C-alpha cells in the first residue's frame, strides 16, 4: 500500500507483537522490552474507553443490527443470481413462460453432452485448452516483466512500468481489432509486409486460430499478473535472496527456490484471477474463433441467450458447468496457499531496494522487454489507431488515405451518444457505489470481529470466482420478470455486486495499516468518532479510495462479459457497441470507437493518478 | 580458515560515496568487528566482502586470490562464505531443517552427510533437530530464528563468516545469551569472522580487534582496551565509552601541560600525547569515571584539580553521575561508585583528575 514508512513501521511493530504472541509458548520470554510501568498515564485511555462504553451500549446494539442488516442485503444480492442459475438449469423454458416446467433436459444436454458429443463437449475442451495455457503463460510473462521492472538495473524501468499498465485502459476488443488488422490471413498488415518482402503467397500469421486466440489473450492478461506482482517483488525482503546467494545459490536457483516460492500466495492469486478472466472471456475467442468453429463455453452461453429463440435454460445449465470449472481453479488456489504464514517474511525489517546488477545483460533484458511491449501493447494499439483513420481494409499503408470519416460516422450514430452516456453513468455509478459501500463495509470488517462480519467478508468475496458470463445469466434469470430488467439498474447492480470486493479489500488493507493509536490520540485530544474519522482516517485513505474508485471505473468502462447478456436496446454500452460494429464488419468505426474509449479512460486515469494519488499497483493481490 | 585482505576499497551509491578507501587485514581465525554509526559505511564494506555489492575500486582478496578488483568479480554464490543478517532472513516456506541444509544442498553434499552436519550444527545452537527441525519460521521466536540463521551460516564450513548486526533485533536479555553463544562458538571453531555492529559493548565483548569506522574510513583499529584507553580522536573517544571533551587554548608538549579555555592548566604525562606534531585543534579527553569529586579538601600536592559547583546528581544504582559547572561555564561529568547526593547540589567542590587519565587527542 502506499502509505508512509511510519505506517509500515506500525505494521512491522504489530507483526512483531503478533509473532511474539504466536511464539509465547516457546522457550523465549514473551515480551521483555514491553515492561510498561502501570502509571496514571497508561490508565487514562482505559478510563476513556470505559466512559465511551457506558455511553454507547445502545449505539453498540444499533451497530450490530446494522451489520446484520448489511449482511442480509448482501447475501440476498449475491446469492440470488447464483441460485437463479441453478434454478434455471432445471427449467424447460425461459423465465415467465407459462409452459415452463422442471426437467433435467438442459442439465442432461450439458453434462451428458460432454461425453456423447453434445454442444458442450468441444466448447468445454476448448475452454480448458485455452484457459490453462493462457493462465500459465500470462502469469509467467507478467511475473517476468514485474521482476525486470522492480528488481534489475534494466534501463528505462519506469517507462516500462507505465507502458505495461497501459493495456488496463482498454477492452479486450482492442486486441481483437488490432490483431485482426495486423494478422488477418488475407488482409493483415504483417502478412502484406511478409509477402512484399519475400514474395511468398502464404500468409505468415493467421490470427483466426487457436494459437492466435491464445496469443491475444496472453498479452491481454499478462498486465494483470504484472500489476498484481509488482508490489510483491517490491516488498519482498531481499535479505532472503541475499542469504541464498551467500549460501551458494546462483540467480536461477534463488529465483526458483526462494523468490517464487515465497511469493507464491501473490502469484497464485494472480493466476486465479487470470484463470477466471480466461474462463469468462468471450469476446476474444468469440470473435476470432467463429471463423474456425473454435467455440468456448462463455461464447456458447452468450449465443444461447442471444439467438432467437433463446435457450435460457441451456445457458443456465452451461453456466453451472463453467462455474464448476472456475471452482476447480479456486480449489487449486486454496491448495497452493494453504499455509499463508509460509509465504510472508514474518520478521523482515529494514527493506532495502534489492536490485540485481546485470552487466551487459541489462541491455539484453531491455531488448526483450521492449519487444514484449511492442508486440503485446504498442503494435495492436497502433494498428487500431491506424484502422480508425483508414476508410477501408488495406494491406498496404498510404498516408494520403488517412481520414476522420470513421469518427464522423461514429459520432453521427444515435447509439453512440446513448452508449457513451450509459457507459459513463454505469462506470461513475458503480465506482462511486463500490467506494462508498466498500468504505463502510471495510470499516465494519476490520474492526472488532464478529460472526456476522466474517460471513459478510466471505459473501462479498463470493462473486470473484463467478465468470462474468455466468453472473450475467444468473442476473437475467433472477431479474427478468422485475422492472429492473433491461434498465441500467440491472447492469449497475451486477457491477456493484461483482466488484464490491475489490474496493472492500483495498480499503480494508489500508485501514489495517493505519495505526489504531492515530485514532486513539484523536479521541484523547477530544475528537468524536466521526471527527476522528474525518480528520485522521479519511485523509490517510484518500489515495486508496481514489485507487479503488479508479479500478472499478476502469473495469466497468470495458466490461462486456456480463453486460452482453444483460443489455437492451436502451442500455447499450461502449464495449457492446464496439462488439456490434465489429460483428457487422465495420472495423473502421469499431476502431474509432475503441480509440475514443481509450481517450476517455485515459483522461480519467490521468486525473485520478495525478490529482488524487490513485495507484493501481497498490492494490494488494487478493 | 582464511585470511582476508582489503585494500583501498571504495563504493558510491549515486553521488554519495559511502566507503572512501578502506584498508583492512584480517588474519586467519581472527574475529574482527567493524564498529560505527549508521551511515558510516560498515555494512557496505561487509556486503562488498560478501559479494552482495561490487566495489567501485580497490581490491578484496581471500587467501591471496582476488575476489573483487583487478577486473575480477566473484559473485556471492561462489565465495563460500556464511552470513548472518540483522533480519534473520529465515525462508518462511522452508522448515528449520531445510533452511539450515540449504548451503549443503548447494554444495551437493551427500544426504547422509547433510543430515549429520545439520544435526550437529543445530545441536550447537541449542535447537535440537528432533524438536525444531520441522518447524517453520512463523513458529519460532526472534531469538530462535537468529539461531537458525547462525546455524545456516556455519553449517557448510565457510571460509569466512560475516555478521551484519546480528543481535540488534533481539531484546536485551536474548542479546546477551546470543553474544555468549557466538563467543563460545568462535573460541571453539576459530573461524575467520567480520562482525558489523553499532553497539560498542557488543564490539568489545566479541572481538579480537575492533575497527572504528566513520564517514567511510576506518579511523582507528586495535584491541578493545587500546581503543578505550587511547582513543585516536574525539569521534572514537565519544563513540566508545563516555567522555568529557574539552577544547584547548594552549598546548605545550615540552612543558607537558595544556590549558583549558577557562585558563586552568593541566599536566599531561608524556605517554598521553598523540603522535604527530600538529598542535591546533587538539582536544582533551577525560572519561567520566576517571574523575573524582572531592567533597572535602583536596589532598596536598595533588595534580590536576578543577574547582566547580555541583549542578546535578543522579543515582544510577551501580554508580552516581555528577554534573558540575566549572569556571568559564564549562560542563563536566564525573561518575563513581560513590559521590555527592542531591542535597549537595549547589555546593562548591573540587574535581580531581589524575594526570594518567588525561589524554590529548
State how far residue A534 is from chain B, nearest Cα, in angstroms. Answer: 36
Please give the torsion angle defined by the CA atoms of residues A481, A483, A486 and A489, in that order, rounded to the nearest 10 degrees: -120
> Secondary structure of B58-125 in the HEC alphabet?
EEEEECCEEEEECCEECCHHHCCEEEECCCCCCCCCCEHHHHHHHHHHHCCCCHHHHHHHHHHHHHHC
B 313-342 residues with CB < 8 A to A: none
Among B125, B115, B111, which residue's Cα sits nearest to residue B82?
B125
Instruction: Inform me whether the pLDDT recorded for A611 exceeds 80.
Output: yes
State how far residue B134 is from chain A, nearest Cα, in angstroms. Answer: 13
Q: Given this model, what pLDDT does residue A448 score?
A: 67
Which of B102, B144, B169 minimises the CB distance to A247? B102
- Asked if B310 contacts B327 with a C-beta cutoff of 8 angstroms, the reply is no
Q: Cβ–Cβ of B87/A357 closer than 8 Å?
A: no
Interchain contact B302–A (C-beta under 8 A)? no
Q: Cβ–Cβ of B103/A242 closer than 8 Å?
A: no
Q: For the segment A431-464, what is each residue's pLDDT rounded down to a tens digit?
A: 999 999 999 888 877 776 778 888 888 888 888 8
B 141-160 residues with CB < 8 A to A: 141-145, 149, 152-153, 156
Q: What angle is formed at CA A119 by the lines to CA A118 and CA A123, rounded to 5 degrees? A: 120
Alpha helix stretches (DSSP H) within A480-533: 488-513, 516-524, 529-532
Taking CA–CA distances from A239, the nearest residue in chain B reads B89
Cell of A340: 499463508
Where is B10: in which H helix or E strand?
strand B4-13
Beginning with the edge strand found earlier in the chain, give each strand of the sheet holding B160-164 in spatial order: B81-84, B160-164, B192-197, B31-35, B209-214, B217-222
**Mean pLDDT of the region B253-260:** 83
Interchain contact A267–B (C-beta under 8 A)? no
Helix (H, G, I), strand (E, B) or coil at A112: coil
Q: Given this model, what pLDDT does residue A234 score?
A: 81
In order of their start, the domains of chain A are 1-45 (no CATH), 55-611 (1.10.3720.10)
Strand duo B209-214 + B217-222: pairing: antiparallel
Q: Given this model, what pLDDT does residue A511 score?
A: 82
Q: Given this model, what pLDDT does residue A385 score?
A: 92
Residues 6+ apart with CB under 8 A from A535: A522, A527
> Which sign, positive or negative, has the C-alpha torsion B155, B161, B166, B172?
positive
The residue that leads in pLDDT, B54 or A15, is B54
Q: Which residues pair with B69 in a beta bridge?
A: B72
Other CB atoms within 10 Å distance of the CB of residue B348:
9
Residues 6+ apart with CB under 8 A from B129: B96, B97, B118, B119, B122, B123
Taking CA–CA distances from B89, the nearest residue in chain A reads A240
State how far residue B67 is from chain A, nearest Cα, in angstroms. Answer: 14
Chain B positions touching A262 (Cβ under 8 A) are: 91-93
Q: Cβ–Cβ of B87/A348 closer than 8 Å?
A: yes
Instruction: Inform me whether the pLDDT recorded for A523 exceeds 60.
Output: yes
Phi, then psi, of B247 in degrees rounded to 5: -75, 150
Kindly state the DSSP code that residue B101 receives in the 8-state scheme.
Answer: H
Helix (H, G, I), strand (E, B) or coil at A358: coil
Burial class (CB in 10 A: 0-12, 13-18, 19+), A98: exposed
What's the pTM value of the predicted model, to 2 decimals? Answer: 0.81
3-state helix, strand, coil in chain A (%, to 5): 75, 0, 25
- Asked if B92 contacts A345 with a C-beta cutoff of 8 angstroms, the reply is yes
Among A619, A590, A365, A360, which residue's Cα sits nearest to residue A505?
A619
Q: For the segment B129-157, what is each residue's pLDDT rounded down to a tens digit?
A: 999 999 998 889 888 999 999 999 999 99
Please give the torsion angle defined by the CA atoms of residues A383, A385, A386 and A389, in that order, rounded to the nearest 10 degrees: 150
Q: Cβ–Cβ of B76/A242 closer than 8 Å?
A: yes
Residues 6+ apart with CB under 8 A from A186: A203
End-to-end Cα spacing for chain B = 37
Where is B69: in which H helix or E strand?
strand B65-69
Q: Cβ–Cβ of A248/B172 closer than 8 Å?
A: no
Q: At what angle do helices A468-479 and A264-280 cross, to 10 degrees?
A: 60
Q: Which residues pair with B26 in a beta bridge?
A: B4
CA A422 to chain CA centroid, Å, is 22
Taking CA–CA distances from A259, the nearest residue in chain B reads B91
Burial class (CB in 10 A: 0-12, 13-18, 19+), A387: buried
Lowest mean pLDDT among A98-112, B27-41, B110-124: A98-112
Q: What is the mean pLDDT of chain B?
A: 90
pLDDT-above-90 percentage for chain A: 37
Helix (H, G, I), strand (E, B) or coil at B244: strand
Taking CA–CA distances from A348, the nearest residue in chain B reads B87
- Asked if B267 contacts B305 with a C-beta cutoff of 8 angstroms, the reply is no
Cell of B160: 569466512
Give the separation between CA B102 and CA B67, rounded to whole angstroms: 23
Chain B positions touching A255 (Cβ under 8 A) are: none
Cell of A263: 511469493
Q: Which residues pair with B214 in a beta bridge?
A: B217
End-to-end Cα spacing for chain A = 13
CA A116 to chain CA centroid, Å, is 36
Mutate to test the interface with B, among A23, A246, A253, A338 (most CBs of B within 10 A): A246
Cell of A188: 493483415
Helix (H, G, I), strand (E, B) or coil at B353: coil
Taking CA–CA distances from A34, the nearest residue in chain B reads B171
Q: Cβ–Cβ of A27/B144 closer than 8 Å?
A: yes
State how far residue A158 is from chain B, nearest Cα, in angstroms. Answer: 17
Give the separation between CA A7 and CA A63, rounded to whole angstroms: 28
State how far residue A445 is from chain B, nearest Cα, in angstroms. Answer: 25
Taking CA–CA distances from B171, the nearest residue in chain A reads A33
Give the separation between CA A33 and CA B174, rounded to whole angstroms: 11
**Mean pLDDT of the region A172-190:** 88
Q: Given this model, what pLDDT does residue A343 score?
A: 64
Where is B33: in which H helix or E strand?
strand B31-35
- Asked if B355 contacts B267 with a C-beta cutoff of 8 angstroms, the reply is yes
Q: How confident is the model at residue A42 (pLDDT cuts 50, 70, 90)?
A: very low
- Asked if B214 contacts B36 with a C-beta cutoff of 8 angstroms, the reply is yes
The residue that leads in pLDDT, B209 or A391, is B209
Q: Given this model, what pLDDT does residue A344 score?
A: 55
Other CB atoms within 10 Å distance of the CB of residue B263:
10
- Asked if A240 contacts A344 with a C-beta cutoff of 8 angstroms, the reply is no
CA contacts within 13 A on the Cβ side of A174: 30
Give the separation between CA A395 and CA A195, rounded to whole angstroms: 10
Phi, then psi, of A362 in degrees rounded to 5: -65, -30
Q: For the segment A114-149, what is each residue's pLDDT rounded down to a tens digit?
A: 898 888 899 999 999 999 999 999 999 999 999 999
> Which sign, positive or negative, has the C-alpha torsion A249, A250, A251, A253?
negative
**Mean pLDDT of the region B121-128:** 93
Chain B positions touching A22 (Cβ under 8 A) are: 138-139
Give the separation between CA A211 and CA A213, rounded to whole angstroms: 5
Give the separation between CA A320 and CA A315, rounded to whole angstroms: 9
Give the separation between CA A70 and CA B40, rounded to whole angstroms: 56
Alpha helix stretches (DSSP H) within A90-209: 105-111, 113-116, 119-151, 157-165, 172-183, 189-198
Among A283, A168, A289, which residue's Cα sits nearest to residue A220?
A168
Could you give the ipTM of this predicted complex? 0.84
Cell of B301: 600536592
Q: For the segment A560-599, what is each residue's pLDDT rounded down to a tens digit?
A: 999 999 999 899 999 999 999 998 888 999 999 999 999 9
Whether residue A309 is preceded by a cis peptide bond, meaning omega within 30 degrees of 0, is yes
**Mean pLDDT of the region A15-31:** 35
pLDDT-above-70 percentage for chain A: 86
Residues 6+ apart with CB under 8 A from A347: A15, A16, A19, B87, B88, B90, B137, B142, B145, B169
Other CB atoms within 10 Å distance of the CB of residue A285:
29
Mutate to test the interface with B, among A248, A351, A359 (most CBs of B within 10 A): A248
B 208-247 residues with CB < 8 A to A: none
Helix (H, G, I), strand (E, B) or coil at B283: strand
Q: Given this model, what pLDDT does residue A8 score?
A: 34
**Mean pLDDT of the region A193-222:** 89
Among B132, B316, B141, which residue's Cα sits nearest to residue A32?
B141
Q: For the segment A333-350, what is each residue's pLDDT rounded down to a tens digit?
A: 888 877 766 665 433 344
Give the separation between CA A468 and CA A110, rounded to whole angstroms: 19
Taking CA–CA distances from B157, the nearest residue in chain A reads A247
Helix (H, G, I), strand (E, B) or coil at A71: helix
Q: What is the mean pLDDT of chain A?
A: 82
Taking CA–CA distances from B177, the nearest residue in chain A reads A28
Give the separation between CA A1 and CA A513, rounded to whole angstroms: 8
Helices and strands per DSSP (H, E), number in chain A:
30, 0
State how far residue B103 is from chain A, nearest Cα, in angstroms. Answer: 5
Q: How confident is the model at residue B265 (pLDDT cuts 50, 70, 90)?
A: confident
Q: How confident is the model at residue A390 (pLDDT cuts 50, 70, 90)?
A: confident
Q: Which residues pair with B65 in a beta bridge?
A: B62
Q: Cβ–Cβ of A246/B90 closer than 8 Å?
A: no
Burial class (CB in 10 A: 0-12, 13-18, 19+), A32: middle
Amino acid at each position: 500500500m502506499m502509505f508512509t514508512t511510519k505506517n509500515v513501521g506500525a505494521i512491522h511493530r504489530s507483526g512483531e507483537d503478533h509473532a511474539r504472541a504466536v511464539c509465547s509458548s516457546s522457550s523465549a520470554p514473551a515480551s521483555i522490552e514491553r515492561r510498561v510501568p502501570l502509571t496514571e498515564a497508561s490508565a487514562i485511555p482505559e478510563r476513556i474507553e470505559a466512559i465511551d462504553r457506558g455511553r454507547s451500549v445502545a449505539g453498540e446494539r444499533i451497530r450490530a443490527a446494522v451489520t446484520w442488516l448489511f449482511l442480509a442485503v448482501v447475501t440476498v444480492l449475491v446469492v440470488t443470481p447464483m441460485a437463479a442459475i441453478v434454478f434455471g438449469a432445471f427449467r424447460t423454458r425461459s423465465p415467465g413462460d407459462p409452459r415452463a416446467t422442471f426437467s433435467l433436459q438442459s442439465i442432461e444436454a450439458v453434462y451428458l453432452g460432454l461425453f456423447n458429443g453434445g454442444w458442450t463437449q468441444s466448447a468445454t475442451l476448448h475452454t480448458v485448452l485455452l484457459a490453462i495455457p493462457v493462465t500459465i503463460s500470462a502469469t509467467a510473462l507478467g511475473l517476468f516483466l514485474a521482476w525486470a521492472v522492480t528488481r534489475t538495473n534494466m534501463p528505462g524501468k519506469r517507462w516500462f512500468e507505465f507502458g505495461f499498465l497501459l493495456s488496463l485502459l482498454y477492452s479486450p476488443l482492442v486486441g481483437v481489432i488490432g490483431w485482426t488488422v495486423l494478422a488477418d490471413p488475407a488482409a493483415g498488415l504483417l502478412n502484406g509486409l511478409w509477402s512484399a518482402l519475400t514474395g511468398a503467397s502464404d500468409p505468415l500469421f493467421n490470427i483466426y486460430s487457436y494459437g492466435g486466440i491464445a496469443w491475444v489473450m496472453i498479452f491481454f492478461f499478462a498486465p494483470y499478473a504484472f500489476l498484481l506482482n509488482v508490489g510483491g517483488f517490491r516488498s519482498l525482503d531481499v535479505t532472503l535472496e541475499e542469504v541464498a546467494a551467500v549460501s551458494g545459490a546462483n540467480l536461477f536457483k534463488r529465483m526458483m527456490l526462494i523468490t517464487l516460492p515465497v511469493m507464491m500466495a501473490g502469484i497464485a492469486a494472480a493466476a486465479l484471477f487470470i484463470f477466471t478472466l480466461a474462463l469468462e472471456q468471450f469476446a476474444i475467442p468469440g470473435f476470432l474463433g467463429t471463423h474456425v468453429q473454435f467455440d468456448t463455453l462463455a461464447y456458447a452461453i452468450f449465443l444461447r441467450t442471444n439467438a432467437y429463440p433463446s435457450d435460457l435454460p441451456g445457458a443456465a445449465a452451461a453456466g453451472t458447468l463453467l462455474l464448476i470449472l472456475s471452482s476447480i481453479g479456486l480449489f487449486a488456489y486454496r491448495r497452493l496457499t494453504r499455509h499463508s504464514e509460509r509465504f510472508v517474511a514474518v520478521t523482515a525489517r529494514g527493506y532495502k531496494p534489492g536490485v540485481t546488477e546485470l552487466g551487459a545483460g541489462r541491455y539484453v533484458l531491455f531488448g526483450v522487454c521492449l519487444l514484449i511491449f511492442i508486440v503485446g501493447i504498442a503494435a495492436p494499439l497502433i494498428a487500431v489507431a491506424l484502422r480508425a483513420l483508414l476508410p477501408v481494409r488495406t494491406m498496404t499503408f498510404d498516408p494520403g488515405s488517412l481520414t476522420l470519416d470513421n469518427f464522423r460516422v461514429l459520432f453521427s450514430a444515435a447509439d453512440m451518444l446513448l452508449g457513451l452516456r450509459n457507459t459513463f453513468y454505469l462506470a461513475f455509478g458503480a465506482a462511486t457505489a463500490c467506494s462508498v459501500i466498500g468504505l463502510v463495509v471495510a470499516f465494519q470488517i476490520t474492526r472488532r470481529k464478529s460472526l456476522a462480519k466474517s460471513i459478510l467478508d466471505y459473501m462479498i468475496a463470493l462473486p470473484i470466482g463467478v465468470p462474468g458470463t455466468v453472473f450475467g445469466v444468473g442476473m437475467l434469470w433472477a431479474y427478468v420478470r422485475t422492472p429492473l430488467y433491461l434498465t441500467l439498474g440491472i447492469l449497475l447492480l451486477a457491477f456493484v455486486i461483482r466488484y464490491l470486493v475489490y474496493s472492500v479489500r483495498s480499503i480494508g488493507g489500508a485501514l489495517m495499516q493505519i495505526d489504531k493509536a492515530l485514532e486513539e490520540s484523536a479521541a484523547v485530544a477530544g475528537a468524536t468518532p466521526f471527527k476522528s474519522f474525518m480528520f485522521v482516517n479519511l485523509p490517510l485513505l484518500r489515495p486508496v479510495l481514489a485507487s479503488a474508485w479508479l479500478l472499478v471505473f476502469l473495469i466497468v468502462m470495458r466490461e462486456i462479459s456480463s453486460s452482453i447478456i444483460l443489455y437492451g436496446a436502451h442500455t447499450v454500452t461502449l464495449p457492446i457497441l464496439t462488439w456490434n460494429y465489429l460483428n457487422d464488419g465495420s472495423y473502421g468505426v469499431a476502431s474509432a470507437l475503441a480509440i475514443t474509449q481509450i481517450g476517455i479512460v485515459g483522461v480519467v486515469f490521468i486525473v485520478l493518478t495525478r490529482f488524487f494519488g490513485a495507484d493501481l499497483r497498490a492494490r494488494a493481490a487478493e | 580458515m582464511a585470511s582476508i585482505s582489503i585494500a583501498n576499497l571504495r563504493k558510491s551509491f549515486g553521488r554519495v560515496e559511502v566507503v572512501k578507501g578502506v584498508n583492512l587485514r584480517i588474519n586467519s581465525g581472527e574475529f574482527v568487528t567493524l564498529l560505527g554509526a549508521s551511515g558510516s559505511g560498515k555494512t557496505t564494506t561487509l556486503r562488498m566482502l560478501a559479494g552482495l555489492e561490487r566495489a567501485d575500486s580497490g581490491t578484496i582478496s581471500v587467501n591471496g586470490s582476488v575476489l573483487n578488483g583487478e577486473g575480477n568479480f566473484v559473485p556471492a554464490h561462489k565465495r563460500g562464505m556464511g552470513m548472518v543478517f540483522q533480519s534473520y532472513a529465515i525462508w518462511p516456506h522452508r522448515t528449520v531443517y531445510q533452511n539450515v541444509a540449504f548451503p549443503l544442498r548447494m554444495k551437493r553434499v551427500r544426504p547422509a552427510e547433510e543430515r549429520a552436519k545439520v544435526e550437529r550444527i543445530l545441536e550447537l545452537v541449542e535447537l535440537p533437530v528432533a524438536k525444531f527441525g520441522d518447524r517453520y519460521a512463523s513458529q519460532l521466536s526472534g531469538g530462535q530464528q537468529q539461531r537458525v540463521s547462525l546455524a545456516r551460516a556455519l553449517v557448510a564450513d565457510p571460509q569466512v563468516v560475516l555478521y551484519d548486526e546480528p543481535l540488534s533485533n533481539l531484546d536485551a536479555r536474548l542479546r546477551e545469551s546470543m553474544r555468549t553463544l557466538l563467543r563460545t562458538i568462535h573460541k571453539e571453531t576459530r573461524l575467520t569472522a567480520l562482525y558489523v555492529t553499532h553497539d560498542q559493548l557488543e564490539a568489545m565483548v566479541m572481538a579480537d580487534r575492533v575497527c572504528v569506522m566513520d564517514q567511510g574510513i576506518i579511523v582507528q583499529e586495535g584491541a578493545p582496551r587500546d581503543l578505550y584507553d587511547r582513543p585516536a580522536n574525539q569521534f572514537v573517544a565519544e563513540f566508545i565509552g563516555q567522555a568529557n571533551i574539552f577544547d584547548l587554548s594552549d598546548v605545550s608538549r615540552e612543558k607537558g601541560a595544556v590549558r583549558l579555555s577557562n585558563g586552568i592548566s593541566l599536566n599531561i604525562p608524556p605517554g598521553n600525547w598523540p603522535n604527530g606534531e600538529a598542535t591546533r585543534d587538539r582536544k582533551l579527553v577525560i572519561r567520566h569515571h576517571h574523575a573524582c569529586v572531592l567533597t572535602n579538601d583536596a589532598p596536598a600536592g595533588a595534580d590536576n584539580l578543577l574547582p566547580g559547583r555541583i549542578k546535578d546528581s543522579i543515582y544510577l544504582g551501580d554508580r552516581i553521575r555528577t554534573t558540575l559547572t566549572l569556571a568559564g561555564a564549562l560542563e563536566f561529568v564525573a561518575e563513581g561508585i560513590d559521590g555527592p547526593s542531591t542535597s549537595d547540589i549547589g555546593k562548591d567542590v573540587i574535581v580531581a583528575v589524575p594526570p594518567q587519565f588525561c589524554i590529548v587527542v
